[in-house]
Structure 1
Amino acid sequence: MVTYKHDLENVDWEEMKATISQDKFDNGRSAEQLKASFANSYATCIAYAGDRIIGTARVLSDGICNAYIVDIWAFTPYRHQGIASTMMRILLDKLQGQHVCLFTDDSIQFYKKLGFTERETCLEQIIGKWLVNT
């Protein structure tokens, strides 16, 4: 049975880091950086099979008109079971009235099924060195 948590109590950040690394979803953040990323989010959703983390999703938002969805991930052995869709619906329900954006080169059809429209909008810049915030 899959459960979905919206709070960050008792999250095993080391386990999350290890599992996303094993699943090749790791972007280089340490366990502490993952914890800070999720803590600084507008809303989060973490999927569990028992006590094992098998999915993540979070949203950054001003709470009024703009939101950005990031870190959508379902552990490979649990894909195609509706876990990512459920996490997305949970987050989207919290974003009424907001323009919601996400950037990805993967799973475009998945996001279209959830109502997203593909656009060609993004400018980017990394300030300083990636993941070095001091």
Structure 2
Amino acid sequence: MKATLSQDHFDNGRSPEQLKTSFTNSYRTCIAYAGDRIIGTARVLSDGVCNAYIVDVWTFTPYRHQGIASTMMEILLGELQGQHVCLFTDDAIKFYKKIGFSEKETCLELVVGKWLNN
């Protein structure tokens, strides 16, 4: 994962061990593969009841615009019924709006289903 993230200029400086810890300690994760190569990631930090934060959404550049990020988001959001979901991005606001997020003062947000109905 570290090598591909670095190659694709999506490396925020975490070591391979720190990446493993980040993904292991997440509420939910989604990792897309092409063969044995990681080509997409997304993960959720959540209290499991009413608040969630989506981070590390990435698709390897040669695989973009093929529905990989949309599928990962669909999988993760399906696990967040009744939760208020927040995420921050500067690059993909149109993408997130297309899948239901609204641009608010502090973040892009979405309530999955009915809030606190999980």
Aligned equivalents of 2:49, 2:97: Cα separation in 1? 23
Deviations 1:41-89 (A, max 9, x none): 0000000001110000000000000000000000000000000000000
Question: Identity percentage over the alignment?
Answer: 84
Aligned equivalents of 1:76, 1:26: Cα separation in 2? 13
Aligned equivalents of 2:35, 2:106: Cα separation in 1? 39
Is the aligned partner of 1:92 residue 2:77?
yes
Calculate the TM-score normalised by the size of structure 2: 0.89
* Aligned residue in 1 for 2:64: 79
Aligned equivalents of 1:81, 1:94: Cα separation in 2? 22
Pair member with larger Rg: 1
- How many residues get paired? 107
* Aligned residue in 2 for 1:42: 27
CA RMSD of aligned residues (A): 0.7
Instruction: Indicate the SS of the match to 1:110.
Output: helix
After TM superposition, the runs of 4+ consecutive aligned structure 1 residues lying more than 6 A away are: none
Aligned equivalents of 1:119, 1:31: Cα separation in 2? 34
Aligned equivalents of 2:52, 2:63: Cα separation in 1? 27
Calculate the TM-score normalised by the size of structure 1: 0.79
Listed as ranges, the gaps of 5+ residues in structure 1 are 1-15, 123-134
Aligned equivalents of 2:88, 2:30: Cα separation in 1? 18
